[in-house]
Every structure is written in C-alpha cells, then in structure tokens.
C-alpha cells in the first residue's frame, strides 16, 4: 500500500477539535522494587502523595476538557487507572493487551479518535515527566496545537532545553525557523556517547534540544505517515479502530494488537518524516523545568534533602556519617538506618529491599531481569 499525504493550508478560523493522549504504559523496571507489574511507576503515589499519571492528567486542566483526554496503558491496569482518574471515563481508556512500544500506542489513539472525529488534533504526552511551571507548559502546548491546525501536514514535537551533556536522552537537531516559535527538525539523534553529548551541549539550544517524546499532530496526518512508512501497522490499527464500538472489540484487539511490529514512533515515523518532502517535522522549544522520572537518581531530584545531600523519601530514617544517598520506603513504620554510607540508593518495600551505588542505577534494569527469573513473585 502506498498512501501519500496531501499537503494543504487553511486560513481564518480553524474548526478542529483538540484532544490529548497520555501514554501510561511501560514497566518502569529501573524503579524496582517500588515499581512492579501490578503497580508500575506511573501509578505509584510517590510524588507528595500523587502519582505521575495523576500529575500528567491534572497538568492539562484549562487546556483540554477532561472528556477529550485519553489514556493508553496496559489493559490489566484499567481499573487502577479509572480509580486514580475519576474524570476519565471507560471509553477514554485505551487498553493495550501487551506493550508494543510508542508507535502502536500513539497510532492506536489516533485511529480511535479519527474514527470518531476525522479532524481531531491530538497532543501526545507521557506519564513519566514532571514539568514546571504548568501554566507556561500549557501556553507552549497551545502553540503546538495552533501550528498543527494551521499547517496540517506538520508533525510537531517539543524540545527541552538541555541543562547539561546528558547521554540518557535523544536529541533534536534543528534546521531553519518555519514559524514564529518553531524550527524544522533536520535530524533525530540517538542517545549519544558523552563526547558527542558535550559537543551538542556546547552548540547550544539553537542547534540541539532534548527529545521530550511529546507531540502534536492531526490524527489523519499521523495515520497517513504510518500508512506510508509502516503499512502493516496501519492496516492493523484500522482493523482495531473499526471494531472499537462493536461486540468483536476485545477479540479483535487481543488478536491483532500483539502481532503489530514493536517499534518507537521516533524510528518509525518522525525520522523518515523529517526526510519526506510531503510532510514537515517541527520542533517548538520548551524551556521549562523538565524531569523524566525514569530512575532512582531522577526520583531523588524530587525529594527533600538534608544538610548532607541525602534525598529523603522514608518516614523513619537514621543516618550517621552518611551523605549523598537516596533513602526511600513504602512502609511508614519501617526504620532505615545507615552508617558511613555515601552515594547509595536504599529503597525498602514490604517484600524487597534494594541497595545500589547511585552511579550504577542503570543496572537495576539488569537486576530486575534476574529477579524475574529467580523470584518471579517479587518482580
């Protein structure tokens, strides 16, 4: 199948309805042992008693009405998510029978919304981020909506101003300015080694931004791109969307979705779109305080600290000659005591305790695989 995007411009009043899709899948294995299969990181109330998903949903207040917000997450977490988000109705929950990476999550949302509203304009967010200030965030997202409405062949992404030579994020290489607050994306760059990240950081935010994983696009523009670059995925998503409001809904979803190619939207759509003359990829800088809470060191940045630089997320703790540690517990009655420690991650739950040097936090994902093999009920 070959589907080309029809490039067209509109002027005057734009009669488009705006929607939001929050991607809340993922296992969060780097936040084990608090993040578990039954309660993944986006649902843990560990940010001042709120979960990352609750914060992501509330961040859209005043921008998108609750009835136009959708959440895509694991089907097994539907009841937990609906209980955590009372304003989210069952029809706005898009349950994945299995995780198939971000292309299928955003494509699933776009196919369902386009079937109900062919002119839908969708902003895509993740449930991993803390973003402040929220009012400025909403203002910048509003710019993204306007750009996607006024230039329908445009896929908009938001770039975060780098605060250092990070190797944990992908980068957007910027080209020419294409609107008052937007630049063409010349290239998507992989998570770089340190020397390359330092080069990007020295070049400045006029040339390189962190890839935030947040987007705005018209549903049919995204679907046309998927049809062009990944036609088998497009066919599967259309089949699922057509069955959405029929008695065959669950059967079709459970049969088709697991067979979709597992790949990210960056690899499958954004990278080829940046080289396609029929569509343009635009980046809008988002110079805000942005934190991807995907690891214990990142989580530590959200915690209060003592005079020795220890990040504290445990009600009961006693630290002697201890500095630059994260101390976290899900049990308010459990005492964590440490003597002479430095640079450790110490996390306690009712059935597992993690102790790890902070500079080896990325290895927790590796550890989780072993826990799954040896102690499946603890994973």
Mind listing the pLDDT tens digit for each residue in 61-73?
Answer: 999 999 999 999 9
Q: Please, which residues have CB within 8 angstroms of residue 313's CB and are 6 or more apart in sequence?
A: 46, 299, 303, 326, 327, 328, 329
**Cα gap 149→120, rounded to integer Å:** 10
**Cα gap 143→180, rounded to integer Å:** 10
Q: Please, which residues have CB within 8 angstroms of residue 87's CB and are 6 or more apart in sequence?
A: 57, 66, 69
Query: Rounded to the nearest 10 degrees, how much is the dihedral formed by the CA atoms of 131, 132, 138, 140?
Result: -90
**Cα gap 102→120, rounded to integer Å:** 19
How confident is the model at residue 55, as a pLDDT?
A: 97
How confident is the model at residue 67, as a pLDDT?
A: 97
pTM of model > 0.85: yes
- What's the whole-number mean pLDDT along residues 9-16? 48
Residue 269 has pLDDT above 70, yes or no: yes
**Cα gap 213→198, rounded to integer Å:** 21
pLDDT band at 304 (very low <50, low <70, confident <90, very high): very high
**Cα gap 264→101, rounded to integer Å:** 5
Mind listing the pLDDT tens digit for each residue in 193-203?
Answer: 999 999 999 99
Coil, helix or strand for 214? strand
Residue 1 has pLDDT above 50, yes or no: no
pLDDT band at 21 (very low <50, low <70, confident <90, very high): very high
Q: Is the peptide bond before 288 cis (omega within 30 degrees of 0)?
A: no
Mind listing the pLDDT tens digit for each residue in 310-329?
Answer: 999 999 999 999 999 999 99
C-alpha angle with apex 258: 255 to 264, nearest 5 degrees? 145
């Amino acid at each position: 199948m070959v589907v080309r995007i029809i490039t067209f411009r509109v002027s005057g009043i734009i009669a488009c309805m705006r929607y939001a899709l929050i991607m809340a899948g993922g296992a969060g294995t780097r936040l084990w042992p608090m993040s578990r299969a039954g309660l993944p990181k986006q649902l843990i109330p560990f940010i001042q008693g709120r979960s990352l998903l609750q914060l992501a949903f509330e961040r859209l207040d005043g921008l998108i009405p609750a009835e136009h917000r959708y959440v895509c997450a694991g089907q097994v977490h539907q009841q937990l998510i609906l209980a955590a988000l009372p304003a989210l109705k069952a029809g706005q929950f898009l349950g994945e029978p299995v995780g198939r990476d971000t292309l299928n999550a955003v494509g699933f949302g776009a196919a369902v919304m386009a079937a109900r509203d062919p002119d839908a304009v969708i902003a895509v967010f993740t449930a991993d981020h803390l973003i402040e200030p929220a009012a400025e965030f909403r203002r910048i997202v509003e710019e993204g909506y306007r750009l996607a409405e006024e230039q329908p062949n445009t896929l908009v992404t938001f770039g975060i101003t780098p605060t250092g030579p990070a190797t944990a994020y992908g980068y957007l290489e910027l080209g020419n300015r294409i609107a008052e607050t937007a630049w063409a994306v010349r290239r998507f760059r992989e998570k770089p080694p340190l020397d390359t990240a330092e080069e990007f950081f020295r070049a400045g935010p006029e040339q390189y931004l962190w890839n935030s994983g947040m987007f705005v696009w018209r549903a049919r523009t995204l679907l046309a791109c998927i049809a062009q670059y990944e036609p088998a995925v497009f066919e599967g998503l259309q089949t699922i969307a057509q069955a959405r409001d029929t008695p065959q809904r669950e059967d079709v979803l459970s049969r088709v979705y697991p067979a979709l190619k597992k790949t990210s939207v960056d690899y499958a759509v954004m990278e080829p779109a940046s080289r396609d003359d029929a569509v343009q990829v635009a980046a809008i800088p988002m110079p805000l305080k942005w934190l991807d809470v995907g690891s214990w060191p990142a989580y530590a940045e959200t915690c209060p600290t003592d005079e020795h630089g220890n990040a504290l997320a445990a009600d009961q703790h006693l630290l002697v000659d201890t500095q630059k540690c994260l101390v976290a517990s899900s049990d308010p009655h459990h005492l964590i005591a440490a003597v002479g420690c430095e640079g450790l991650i110490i996390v306690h739950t009712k059935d597992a305790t993690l102790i790890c040097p902070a500079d080896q936090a990325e290895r927790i994902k590796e550890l989780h695989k072993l826990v799954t093999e040896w102690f499946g009920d603890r994973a």
